[in-house]
Amino acid sequence: MIQHTSCSSPTMSAPKLKEVNVSLPRKFDTPDEPWHRYVTVDLLHYVLGYTVFHPFVSCVLVLCLRAQYTAWHALEMRIAIAWALLMCSVGIFNIFSDRLAYGAPREVDLSEEVIVVTGGVEGLGGLLAETYGMRNANVAVLDMKKVDDEEAEEKGVLYYQCDVGDAKQVEAAVAEIVEDLGAPTILINNAGMVRAKSILDSTPEDVEQTFRTNTLSHFNTLRAVLPHMLRERRGTIVTVSSVLGRLGAANLSSYSASKAALLALHQSLRAELSQNPDAKEIKTILVTPGQMGTKMFQNLKTPSNFFGPVVSPAEVAKSIIGLVEKGESGEVALPLYAKYTESLGALPVGIQALLRRWSAMDTAVEKAGMVEKKQN
C-alpha cells in the first residue's frame, strides 16, 4: 500500500502577500458621460492598427478569400494581396528603422535593477513608483514632498526628500541610494511644475524656479546617475517632456520653454551616449504627453474630446513601463496628435495660425482660471 503524504505541515506557512490599499472608483464618483464621449481618434487609430492596418490580419484576409476559391487573378484578390504586401513592408521597415536608430534591446530583470524616479510622490511619477513598488522592484523616489515611513513601507518604495533642482542635494541623495539599494540603472526624470503666468507678470524668481525643477533637475540627476550606469554598462533614462515643448502656449511661457529645453537635452544625450563604448546598453526614452488627467492641469478643458482627448496617467505609465521592460529606446507620445506636433512646423504659417485658433490652446489656460495675475 502506498501512503500519500501531505506537502504542507503545521510549521510551514504560505508566504504573505503584500497588502495594498486600493480605493476603486464607485459609479457615483465618476460623471455619467454619453457613449460618444469615449469615441476618439485615438480609439479609432488603435482599432484600425489591430485590424485593417495589421500585417497579420491583412494576410489572413488573403487566405480567407482563397478559402472561398477566389481566383488569383480576380480584382478583389489582387487588391487584398497588394494591401497585405504593403502592410508587411511597412511593418518590416519599421522594425529595421527602430533597430537602426536605437540598436538591439537590452535584457531587463527588475530584481537586478535600481529605479530612481524624480517627482514620484504624486501624478505620473507616483503611479510609476507605486507600480514598480508593488512588483517588489528596487525603487527610490526623489521629491520635495515628505512621505511617512508607514506609507513608504506599504508601497514598497524608498523616499528621499530632496530638491532635484539643487545639485548638491541630488548628489547626496544618489549616494544614499547607492548605499541602500545599489547603483541606479533606471532613471525616470519626471519632476515638474507649472506657473501659469504671462511673460510680463512672471518674476525672475518664477522663471528660475520653473527651470530649476523642470530642466536643471535633469542635468543634476544625469551627472549623479549616469556614471553608475556607465560603470554597470547598462541602463535606461526616461525624459518626461511635454507636447507644449514643441507648441508653446500663452501664459505658459516658462513651462513650455523649460520643456522645450528637454527635447534638445534628450537629443544631445543620445548623441553623447552613441560616442561612448560603455553606453551601448544604455537606452533612452523621450515622453511627450499631451494634456494628462493630473492635478497640474485638472481644471483645463480640452476643446475637442474627439481629436484631443485628455490622456490618463495610467496610459502614459503603461507605455513607459512597456518600453523600459522590453529594454528598448523609443518615444512615448500620447494622445495621437502628440506624435505629429513636430510636423506642424512644415505647414504654411496661415494653416498653423488657423489650427492654433481652432484648438483654443492659447486661451484655454485663462478660461480655466489658472492664470496668476501680478500683485500690485
- 340 in active site: no
Answer yes or no: are the C-beta atoms of 292 and 311 closer than 8 Å.
yes
Q: Positive or negative, the Cα torsion across 64, 70, 71, 73?
A: negative
Strand 158-161 and strand 138-143: the pairing is: parallel
Answer yes or no: are the C-beta atoms of 174 and 187 closer than 8 Å.
no
Q: Exactly one of 132, 259, 283, 337 is catalytic; name it.
A: 259
Q: How far apart are CA 264 and CA 342, in angstroms?
A: 13
- 27 in active site: no
Q: Positive or negative, the Cα torsion across 70, 72, 75, 78?
A: positive
Q: How far apart are CA 177 and CA 298, in angstroms?
A: 33
Q: Exactly one of 160, 255, 283, 337 is catalytic; name it.
A: 255
Q: How far apart are CA 370 and CA 207, in angstroms?
A: 17
* 112: CB partners within 8 A, 6+ apart: 185
Taking the CA atoms of residue 168, residue 179, residue 283 and residue 55 in that order, the dihedral angle to the nearest 10 degrees is -130
Among residues 157, 146, 206, 203, the alpha carbon closest in space to that of 181 is found at 157
Per the DSSP assignment, residues forming a β-bridge with 237 are: 187, 284
- For the chain, state the CA radius of gyration: 25
Residues annotated catalytic, as ranges: 255, 259
